Amino acid sequence: MPFFAGMIQHKKILITGGAGFIGSNLCEKFLAQNNEVVCLDNLSTGLSQNIEPYLANPRFKWLEGDIRSLNLCIEAAKGVDMICHQAALGSVPRSVANPLPSHEHNVTGFLNILEAAKANAVRRVVYASSSSVYGDAPELPKREEKIGLPLSPYAVTKLADELYAHVFGALYPLELIGLRYFNVFGKKQRPDGPYAAVIPKFIALMLAGQAPEIHGDGSQSRDFTHINNVLKANELALETQNPLAYNTVYNVACGSNTTVLELFEGIKTLLAPDYPHIAAMQPCFVPKRAGDVAHSLASIERAENLLGYEPTHDFEQGLTEAIAWYKKHHS
């Protein structure tokens, strides 16, 4: 059997956090490929409008509920072929402001999903981790085997998930694959709220004629990763038959980094032709945030070698597509 089988079809997939940004894009992808999808989400950060187009699809099952309920997780995982676990309470600043909910959703909820997989004999679980686990490790690019000390409660929760996955993979007949996402962006990502990600927040503010805030001097850099790269990585991780690929973690990124100031200028360049008021806009600089990492750049060699991963979108292409989507949906 080849390690990389291609497209997932005719499977039943549980997607937790399926009404969220990444989860709803995964629902869309796998439904389009003739799979059955069970979507579990409590709508704490996800949006019902993200899954509204699929509600009439007979291959789509919507469960409004919370991964903090073990019984619900076990029920949701009945009869599924694989689990794609995206549900989490995201945001470093949110976790700094209120650590307990982050722990409950991200650690207890994750443990419930592992228990549900074990109880239902669902071998393959692909779960969302985060580049935040690298913490204070100074090395660039970030390689999976070299992490530092976490800098936020959110980072602690994601590291705890990886440790639980390691133990469950060693003790039980499970094939667990963690994906360390690096600053994902793209269609359906919320621009509103105090914990909105930087790209949709900048776009929304600039379209509204407001200068965005940059924390620090803008020299901090990120490996901004378009949603299509994340969809591809999830599919590869769900379908790989490479035994060396199981029970480990992978960076999911582009392998290039961009400063926040460069990001601002890139958005301005793409928006200004249609919105002339943006051409002269300058950002507002505010103090650095607690828990933020200075620089983030991924090595994607492990994902390339063991999963067959290759980014479909570089940063420029991804930003162009994202801005086109936000312009279309801007009111």
Tens of pLDDT along 234-282? 999 999 999 999 999 999 999 999 999 999 999 999 999 999 999 999 9
What CATH number has the domain bearing residue 238? 3.40.50.720
Rounded CA separation 149/135 (Å): 5
| Residues 299-326, mean pLDDT to the nearest whole number | 95
In-domain check, residue 144: yes
In-domain check, residue 160: yes
Q: Which range among 52-61, 93-102, 215-224 has the greatest average pLDDT?
A: 52-61
Residue 81 has what DSSP assignment? S
In-domain check, residue 318: no
DSSP assignment of 187-253: TT----STT--HHHHHHHHHHTT-PPEEETTS--EE--EEHHHHHHHHHHHHH---GGGSSEEEEES
Enclosing H/E stretch for 21: helix 21-32
In-domain check, residue 86: yes
Residue 290 pLDDT greater than 80, yes or no: no
Residue 1 pLDDT greater than 50, yes or no: no
In-domain check, residue 212: no
Examine the residue annotation and report whether 154 is marked as an active-site residue of this protein.
yes
Which tens digit of pLDDT belongs to each residue from 68-125?
999 999 999 999 999 999 999 988 888 999 999 999 999 999 999 999 999 999 999 9
- In the block, tokens 């307990």 appear at 100
Cis status of the peptide bond prior to 141, with omega within 30 of 0: yes
Domain count, the chain: 1
User: Can you give the residue range of the structural domain that contains 130?
Assistant: 12-184+225-253+298-313
Residue 289 is predicted with a pLDDT of 79
Residue 194 pLDDT greater than 90, yes or no: no
Residue 330 is predicted with a pLDDT of 72
In-domain check, residue 151: yes
Residue 227 pLDDT greater than 90, yes or no: yes
Residue 3 pLDDT greater than 70, yes or no: no
Which tens digit of pLDDT belongs to each residue from 154-191?
999 999 999 999 999 999 999 999 999 999 999 999 88
Catalytic residue selected from 54, 134, 154, 326: 154
In-domain check, residue 205: no
In-domain check, residue 323: no
